[in-house]
Structures are given as C-alpha cells and as structure tokens.
Structure 1
Amino acid sequence: MNQLTNLKSFPLVSRRTILKLLTIGATTGLLGYTRFSKPQPTVFTQDSLDLPRYLNNSKSVVIVGGGLAGLACAYELSQRGFTVTLLEKSPQLGGKIASWSVDVGGEKFMMEHGFHGFFPQYYNLNSLVEELNINDNFQSLEFYSMVFREGKYDPEVFRPSSSAFPWNVVDLGISSPNRFRWGINLAKPKHWEVFRAIGGFQVEKTYQQLDNLSVAEWVEKDFPQGLYDLYFLPFAKSSLNAPDKLSVAELMQFFHFYFFGNPEGLAFNGTRQDMGTSLVQPIAKEIENKGGKIFTDVGISKIYWQDNKISSISYQLGEAKSLVPFWVERNWEINQEEVNYFGSSDRLFAIEANSDEAISLTCSHQGCTVELAEDGNFYCPCHGAVYDRKGKVLTGPPKRNLSRYKINQSRENKVQLVGITENNSEIISTEIQADYYVFATDVPGVQQLFNVMEGEVNQNVKSQIQKLHIADPFAVCRFWFDRDFDWQHSNFTSLSGYQLTDSITLYHRIQEQFIQWHEKTGGSVVELHAYCYKEKQFPTQEILLTTFAQELYEIVPELKEANLLHRELVNQKNFSAYPPGSYQQRPETNSGISNLMFAGDWVKMPFPCGLMERAISSGLLAANEILTKEGLQRRKLLSVNPEGILKI
C-alpha cells in the first residue's frame, strides 16, 4: 500500500485561525506578497558582456580535494579548456558523499556517509545534474516525516509545496497537528524578534546582529518552546552543528535557504543507487573525458611559495602519504592509566607512557576505530578484527597491520607524528606546477596544507585558515536484518528527543541494490544517523554502537525479534563548524593570493545556501574567479531570494 494513504489526516483550520496565531498585525504587511505568483530563483552571477567561453591558450589548474566542491570546480574548468589535475587524499572521490564497497554475507554493497536529500532549491547542483543528463539517477521521496520520542508532539509531515513566505507558514500551520503548541505570541517582544529574524534575513545585517550568539543562548529565555522543539532544534542539528556551538546568524541563513526564502517546498529527491554511483562517478567521468587527470590516495608533502604566490606542489601516491608530518591534539575524553590518546573519532592515535611511537587506532579493514582491551590487544567493535599491542593482525578480515607513527615533536597537549614505513621501498615524489591552485578540502585538510608550506607564506591567509573550526563528530550506523517491519512514516524520517539518533532511513525501500536484496531475502536495511553528538557522552565507537542498537530497538520494537546479519559504522569529525563570532574571519573564495582559490563548505558564501549546495556553489565560485582572471564568461549561478521580506 502506498504510504501516502496511511498518513494521518489532519483537520482543516481556517486561515483566519492561523492569522490569529501569527497575529494580524504581523502579517498584514506580508499579504501583498501574492500567494499565486511563485518567486523565481535569484540570479547571483551572470555576465552581461558577450565574453568568450573557452580558452584559446594553455592554462593549468591543480585542485586539491575531490569532494563536491573540488569536483564542481574541476568539472567547470575542464569544460572550458583548462588542463585540470585533481588530487584527493582518500581512496574514493566524493568527500562526505563518497561511497565504498562492503562485504555482507558474501555479497557486495555500497556504503556511504549517510542519507543525503536533494532539495529543489539546490539550483546549482541541479544544473550540473541536468548537464550530465543523470536525472534518472534520482527519485522523489514525495514527503518526509518528523517523529518525536514518547509522543511529546504528534508526528509532523512535510509535503511538496510552492508557497512562498508567509503562505508556507500558513500552510504549515494548517497541516501541522501541533499548530496550537507552537507557543508563538507576537505581543511578546522576544517572540516578535524571533519572527522578524527568521523572516527578515539579510546577509551582512543578520550576521552583524546575531553572529555573536549561539542558538542555545538565544533560545534560553522567553523563547516559544514548541517552535524550538518542532523546528529550531531539528533544523539546527541537520546543519551538522550542535545548538550550543552554532551561530544564530548561521541558523537564520539555514532557515532562510531551506524554508523562509525558499519557494520550492520541503520535499526532496534521493538517489536510486549510492551517492558515488549516482553523482560522483558521472562528474569524475566527464572531467576525465575532457582531459582532466584525477589521482586518489594522494599525500601532499610540500607546497612551495615564491613571489607571494604558490609556485608548485609536491605529492606522493599510496602508502608514502603517511610520511607527511601532521599534528594531533590530546583527547581528554578517553583516559587510561598507561596510554595517552590523541585525535578523535576516525582519526585516533594511542601512545604508551614513555614511548616515542604512536599507533593508529583506525582498523585497516573498514576504517572503524579499534579499542585496547584488558588483555593488551586491540579489538575492532564492528567486524571482529584483533591486533596485538604493536598493531600486528592476529585474527579477522584485515590484511594490513595498524599503521605506526614516530613522534617528531611534542608540545603542550599535542604531538607531531610522521608515518613509519613497513619496508624500505623508495618513496616517489612528484612536483607539479600550475597557473592556478584551488584548495577544496575539508577543514582539517586545508589546515594541514598550510602546515606543509615552505617559503614566504602569506600569514594573514594562514591565520584565517588556522581559525576555522570543526563541528562535533557525526556517526552513521547501518544494520542488515533478516526480516522487514511495519513503518507508518516516511522512508527517511527525522527523529527528535533521542540521546544519539537524529534520523532513520529505510534503504531497502529507497535504493535499488537494497530493494533487490530485500525482494530476494525478505530482510531490511536500516540506517541511523547522529548529526552532531558530544564526544564526552560517546567517547568510543563501542558506546556508539551500543547506543544506536538500543535506540533502534526502541524506534522499531519489531526488530528485537530479528536476527542482526551485519552492521557498518561511519564515525568522523571533519564537518565545518559555524560557531558564534566566526563569520567575519571566514575565508572567501578569492583568497587574496593571485593564483590561489578556496572552495568548500567552510568558505564564506555571498548568498544563502547549505550542505551539498553550499559545497557545489563554492566550487563553481572558485571556477568563476579563475574564468574572470582569464577574461572568460562566468558560469551563471542561482540562489533563493537573498533577503527575507521582513527586512528592515
């Protein structure tokens, strides 16, 4: 039966009742914004001059980082005739949307970093999808639900809509079973301040007024509790930033992009296959078809500066990348008497007392984090691998030992490590020169790039990069069971009120590889996602796995009787943070260095955008900067209306 027929029907409420909820005084000035005229996307970039589109001479670009930002930049420049070289440190392209193969019961499946939704206001991302002719790789999920633990609120359901603000609020009020629990009273100054802030977004003014506050501080006193529980908290966490560390201005930008300035509605698409197959591979293939070169498993060892710009980059392929020195900070959340821990999440290292070596706790099988047990061996909580005290494989699926590192330097609360090779094979280093360079890595990656620079490095730019922040870690756990279960909500559902879990995805009802497995076996594939958890509460992957399992059985009690066939855990700490006070110092696409551009979700954006659209747009902005320097036509970029209609 179609899930749409199972939805709870909500009683209709007159618009007059909704207007009373919002107060007539607050909405009278808004009603001239016609309900029947859908706002069009705003053109952010479009050249009026008839400039050439393609190079007529030879120009080269090196792009470091193969996530969406780097791929988008490489795609656009390769289309325009540039010689593009893309360097990615991981074995797979895609960054936070990468996919890789896992073995489950003798079958191969593609694993990801968690479910991603493709919203209709992702104008720049969707334009790439159109150009690549891969629309069939995506499917509409029709609607999605938000379910609250222990029935604190009735489930919310978000459906497609083309109503713009304020009518999308009216429609939400009509459909919401919790409409009388929002707690809005615009006679209260604080409530009016909230309504004006979310409906009157202006980039510079909003950041000037609200970037100094965290969301947690802003809502601490006299805030509409229902509005916070139902919308502010789930939306804040879906930005992968926790409310206690997220700037209010950044949340206003997030709200504006996804709701108050968005005329496209809240429904979204999902991929028919994994993200790598559906999106990453088609972009990479087109880059290579245009002559671009792509290298993965790359380590950048040196970046040379001369005459206030980058002159060349040296890199190595494969295991040699471990020979690049890097710094890691002490982890005080994990304590053992004889062992000190450095780093966190999927990049954790153990150093025994008085030792000059560190051992990586990243399992060489699937990248899980191993743990030191009382018997002195390291155990992987995911797939049964066991290593001895020196990291040598004792049993299980891994083929390689844990990596070992020499301690180069020690400072207060951090150490510099460099890899120890297993053999004496010659290290092959390649030096590459280009006309332009684009750094499109995540925050830890770009900070490491500035750590390996030599020469007269621009200290102002380096300081900007060093001040970037990383959000709390995220975790994804995917379970394979031998049976299916009844589910009355959407196949992707936001969850609220749980200690760890923020969403659940039923992959055996969305992606084709899992649908086929379900039809063959009758089993189910379920994924839980924690967007931004606190390491102090969940310091180890064993605790993460235990908590995910406990909460899954509470969310879907039927699975208590099912047999767990397999599970996969993804646990990383590399998402960009947007803490209070960080906006003004955030680097822009144009770094200020003549041949260096920045791209990534950490870059200060000139128009509202979020998540995948933010990454894609930053990459295209970087490409446009280079096109401008070469006197070429820039790519047309779109955004939602950059300002809210309540702006003053």
Structure 2
Amino acid sequence: MTRDRRARRIPGPRGTAVAAGDPPVVVVVGGGIAGLSAATVLSERGVRVVVCEREDHLGGRVGGWPTELADGSRVTMTRGFHAFFRQYYNLRSLLGRVDPTGSALVAMPDYPLWHAGGHREGFAGLPRSTPWNAAGFLLRSPTFRWRDLPGVDARAALPLLDVSVPRTYHELDHLDAASYLERLRFPEAAHALAFEVFSRSFFAHPNRMSAAELATMFHIYFLGSAEGLLFDVAADPFPHGLWDPLARRITARGGEVRTGCAVESVRPGGPRRFTVRAGGEELHADAVVLALDVGGLKSVVSGSRLGSAKWRDRVAALESAPPFLVSRYWLDRPVWPDRPGFLGTSGYGALDNVTVLNAYEHEARAWAARTGGSVVELHGYSLPAGVDEESARRGLLEQLRVVYPETREARVVDERHELRADCPLFPPGGFARRPGVRTPDDFLVLAGDLVRIDLPVALMERAATTGFAAANLLLERWGIAGQELWTVPLRGRGPVLRRVARKWGRSPGPGEDDAVRPVLHTA
C-alpha cells in the first residue's frame, strides 16, 4: 500500500508477540468497522474475542443483507454508497488482511459535483501537492475564479492552511460551519460545491456542524494530504468482499462472531472483570470494547454501572445527526453510458448524490446485463426531523429525473429504502465534551466514528483508527505488542503558508508544537 510520503506513523505499544498462558477474554460490542478493527487486532495477538452485533449482518452503516426482487433476483441491499479514500490508511490496513492484492476495491476516475445552477466541478487530474492542487483547482474551476480572490476574507481562510488536531478544535469548534463559510466570503456556488457537499457527507447541515470539523476535513481530503479527493469503491457488496472474510479470520483464530445478539448491559464483576448481558445469556470478560452508534452506546451505558458520573454524562450528551434516506431503484432501462458511477449534487432539493451501481459493482452489473436495466441509488442527507418518508422518496426520485432525464420513462422493477438517523453529530462546541477511547475504567474502551481521537481522521477511517487504538490500549495493559497507526500529515503541508497562517490567520494557541500528541487523551 502506497502512502503520502509525509504520512505519519504512530507506533503501537511494545510487548510480547501474542498473549501467553490463559489469554484474556474481550467482548467487543458492535460489529461495524470499529468493532471489527478492534477484534481483528486482538484476535491476531492471541486474545479470545467475542463480537456481539445486534443486527443480523456485520459492517454497521457499511453493512448489507440479502433481499429478493419482484423479478425473483436475489441481490444484496446495503445502507448506501461509501467512498474508500486513498488516505484511509488504517481502514485499508484492516481490509488488507483479507484482500492483500487490493482487488476488493476499484478506482473511481473522478469525484464529480453538479449544481442545479449549471456549475460542475471535478478533481481528477489535479496536482497532488499543496499549493499546486489549490492553484490547479482555481485555474480550471467554473465556480471559483481568480477574480473572486479579492473578495475572499484571507484572514478567515488562512487557518485552513495550518490545521492541527486538537489545536484547530480549540480555535474553531465554537463556530458552526455555515458561519465560518460566510466569514470566508467564497462565491455562493463554491460554497455549495466545494464545502457544503463535503459537510453534508457528515449527515448534517453546515449550521449544525462544527467549523473545526469542516476545516479538519478540508485538511484530510485536500490541503493536507497528497492523496487528494479521488477514491475507490467496493467491487462486490460489502458483506461478500469485506466483512464476512474478516469474520472468518477472527473465528479462525479462536474468536466468536455473533450476529443478532444485542447487548443489554455491561456490569463490573463476576468470574472475570465484567459480566456482559447479551442475547439472553451472560458473557464473562476481562475487558470490553464498546463500538456502538450513538443510540446504542447511550442505551448500554444507561443500563449499566460503568465509569464515572461525569463520563456517563458525556455519553448521554452525544447527539445523532438528522435522518438520511437511501433509495435504491432497479430500473428496466439503462442510464446513459457516460454517467459517472458516483455524482455529488447540490441545489436539487434534498438529493445529495446519485450512484449508478452497475457502473462498478459486480452484482449490480450482472443484474443490469441480464435485464437490460440499471441499478441507481439516491441519497438525501440531513432531512428534517419527523420527515414523511413517502414524500422524501418521491422528492429524491423526481430530482433523479431532473439530473438524469433518461430515467423519466424508466419503469421501476423494484425498490428498497432505508430511512435512518444513527450517524453521530459533531455540533459546535462538542469536541471538548466528546468521549475518547479511554474511559475511567482501564479495561473498558470506546471505538467508533463518534469517538474523539486527536488525529486528523474522519468517517470510516475514524472508526477503523479508534478500533485499532482501543485494541492497543488493552494490549498495552497486558504487555502485548500492538498495531501501528498511520495518518495524513499532522499539520499543513507548506511551511511558508503555515508561517503566514500563524502570523496573520490567528493568535497563537495551545498545541503549537508538531510532535505526535497522545491520541487517546483523558476519559
């Protein structure tokens, strides 16, 4: 796996190669990316792992399950499209265990963005280094032209060139992303395409999202990493190519993976350190990894005697992002052959992106080839609370017919819809209160994309990174060697630009040094 030459390595804890004697027992609560990451590392070190997943499938929000269409076809439904960006080093390390050749992922040629006003952007072919990638973007961008530069508030924009975690959160977390975008005074179309599309990938409108989270995301995907904004996608439905092979790997090392097994409570004490009530029985564990979504974590913690009152209050204060809708349609005719596999949209009502699955996924491609049709998926993020699902579905389908007019005459062979509200919200001011991997109990750890870790990671990569970090924390307690972590550069890439940003863009703040900081911080 190639990496940005400035990517940073954080060594894992040192110790013996594997557990000796009677190995510790760890219950991992949650079988999404974070839970599978922790369970994989622990099982590789000889720890006895039991994964408990409440759903009947693994993968969490990147999961999938079988379904039968009206025409009798057996297919896989998922929670929606996911982009595996090149800078997801820890996630790719996890997947490399079962896909050493990288064949489970295929490259998308571009990340196209369309605005209803006619503006279009893409990121293919840009230089990979800062500031040349930004200059290249400006040179060809129809929405952000050189003559717009004098109107930009340079002082407000300079912190984007000197992102460093957690310092950036100390400086910007009190602001919401929408207010920060207004301060920047970028052209309106550039707001929609270059920022709002990205912020909505966190399933929240910019006015409910921390400006620090937006700035960090801009660092991860554009200014801080030479990997850029191009990404890969799964060539097969997620269970077949990713999660089921990982589960087999865990069980081959003596672990258990239980699906349809909801955890009700975690109680200190018993024959071992913890007693976990799951699936109607008691499991006894030396340590527990809670790798849950917001609702699941709050439910388990409220039904258990864990941590301190202050820590429980932090967990109770976590919020979920607004609802989002995934609508997948099996159509009786193809879309035009030049349609991209993935398209980000703005200004088309609630429609945030369109995916043509048969452009890249083997199962969808086989169905389309057999029937002469196409498989199209629509996403609507940050929907209003209490949204009427039927009207939301109609709205997304109507906008598809505007974006891709050839679908207007298509007959729907079958359809599936997923309306969920289980993604974490990163509101202004929330960073300082967000629970980290550590908890008040040395043998209880958290993992997931809702968990704070002081590294520039996001989305699926935050889930994988916190899963590895949770495993490392436990392995260190037992004197067992852990898993190395990787991240994009911990600061802005250009030293001259960083100096300018530090002098003119802000006042000096905490954390000015560029050393690798402890990434687990206090409970």
- In structure 2, the partner of 1:378 is none
Q: For this pair of structures, how many residues does the alignment match? A: 489
Larger Rg: 1
Q: Which residue identity does 2:113 align to in structure 1?
A: M
Q: Which residue identity does 2:16 align to in structure 1?
A: P
Task: Say whether residues 1:285 and 2:238 are aligned partners.
Answer: no
Within 2, Cα distance between the matches of 1:230 and 1:150? 11
Shift of 1:531: 2.4
Equivalent position SS for 2:76: strand
Q: Which residue identity does 1:141 align to in structure 2?
A: M
Is 1:182–1:227's contact at 8 Å kept on the other side of the alignment? no
1:56 to 5, 12, 20: 20
Is 2:98–2:245's contact at 8 Å kept on the other side of the alignment? yes
Shift of 1:222: 6.2
TM-score, with normalisation over the residues of structure 1?
A: 0.73
1:78 to 23, 28, 43: 43
- In structure 1, the partner of 2:464 is 616
Q: Which residue identity does 1:483 align to in structure 2?
A: R
Shift of 1:508: 1.5
Q: CA RMSD in A?
A: 2.0
Is 1:144–1:489's contact at 8 Å kept on the other side of the alignment? no
Task: Say whether residues 1:302 and 2:260 are aligned partners.
Answer: no
Mapping of residues 95-174 of structure 1, within 5 Å? 95-104=60-69, 105-134=71-100, 135-151=102-118, 153=119, 155-159=120-124, 163-174=128-139
Mapping of residues 308-457 of structure 1, within 5 Å? 311-316=274-279, 429-454=280-305
Task: Say whether residues 1:477 and 2:327 are aligned partners.
Answer: yes
Within 1, Cα distance between the matches of 2:148 and 2:273? 55
Shift of 1:588: 0.9
Within 1, Cα distance between the matches of 2:458 and 2:166? 17
Shift of 1:221: 5.1
Within 2, Cα distance between the matches of 1:528 and 1:146? 14
Shift of 1:46: 4.4
Shift of 1:182: 8.0
Mapping of residues 509-548 of structure 1, within 5 Å? 509-535=359-385, 539-548=387-396
Could you report, residue by residue, the CA deviation over 1:465-501 in whole angstroms, capped at 9, with x for unpaired residues?
Answer: 0011111111110111111132544211111112111
Equivalent position SS for 2:326: strand
Is 2:424–2:449's contact at 8 Å kept on the other side of the alignment? yes
2:238 to 275, 284, 287: 275
Within 1, Cα distance between the matches of 2:411 and 2:333? 8
Equivalent position SS for 2:227: coil
Within 1, Cα distance between the matches of 2:93 and 2:291? 20
Q: Which residue identity does 1:603 align to in structure 2?
A: V
Is 1:442–1:576's contact at 8 Å kept on the other side of the alignment? yes
Mapping of residues 12-51 of structure 1, within 5 Å? 39-46=5-12, 51=15
- In structure 2, the partner of 1:201 is 163
Structure 2 gap segments, 5+ residues each: 503-523
Could you report, residue by residue, the CA deviation over 1:344-388 in whole angstroms, capped at 9, with x for unpaired residues?
Answer: xxxxxxxxxxxxxxxxxxxxxxxxxxxxxxxxxxxxxxxxxxxxx
Is 2:65–2:77's contact at 8 Å kept on the other side of the alignment? yes
Shift of 1:616: 0.6
Within 1, Cα distance between the matches of 2:97 and 2:441? 31
Shift of 1:93: 1.0
- In structure 1, the partner of 2:224 is 261
Is 2:334–2:372's contact at 8 Å kept on the other side of the alignment? yes
Q: Which residue identity does 1:271 align to in structure 2?
A: A
Question: Is the alpha carbon distance of 1:242 and 1:487 closer, same or farther for their aligned partners in structure 2, counting shifts above 3 Å?
Answer: farther
Q: Which has the higher helix share?
A: 2
Is 1:191–1:223's contact at 8 Å kept on the other side of the alignment? yes
- In structure 2, the partner of 1:183 is 148
- In structure 1, the partner of 2:409 is 561
Equivalent position SS for 1:544: helix
Within 2, Cα distance between the matches of 1:133 and 1:484? 31
- In structure 1, the partner of 2:514 is none
Within 1, Cα distance between the matches of 2:287 and 2:248? 22
Is 2:144–2:190's contact at 8 Å kept on the other side of the alignment? no
Could you report, residue by residue, the CA deviation over 1:184-208 in whole angstroms, capped at 9, with x for unpaired residues?
Answer: 32xx6x6213321211112132111
- In structure 2, the partner of 1:591 is 439
Equivalent position SS for 1:219: helix
Identity of matched residues, %? 29
Shift of 1:303: 2.4
Equivalent position SS for 1:136: coil
Task: Say whether residues 1:213 and 2:63 are aligned partners.
Answer: no
TM-score, with normalisation over the residues of structure 2?
A: 0.89
Equivalent position SS for 2:433: coil
Is 1:504–1:529's contact at 8 Å kept on the other side of the alignment? yes
Question: Is the alpha carbon distance of 1:191 and 1:133 closer, same or farther for their aligned partners in structure 2, counting shifts above 3 Å?
Answer: same
Is 1:483–1:523's contact at 8 Å kept on the other side of the alignment? yes
Within 2, Cα distance between the matches of 1:550 and 1:101? 27
Is 1:305–1:457's contact at 8 Å kept on the other side of the alignment? no
Within 2, Cα distance between the matches of 1:463 and 1:453? 13
- In structure 2, the partner of 1:230 is 193
Equivalent position SS for 1:470: coil
Within 2, Cα distance between the matches of 1:630 and 1:160? 48
Could you report, residue by residue, the CA deviation over 1:234-253 in whole angstroms, capped at 9, with x for unpaired residues?
Answer: 11111222201100001111
Equivalent position SS for 2:95: helix
Within 2, Cα distance between the matches of 1:45 and 1:233? 35
Task: Say whether residues 1:625 and 2:473 are aligned partners.
Answer: yes
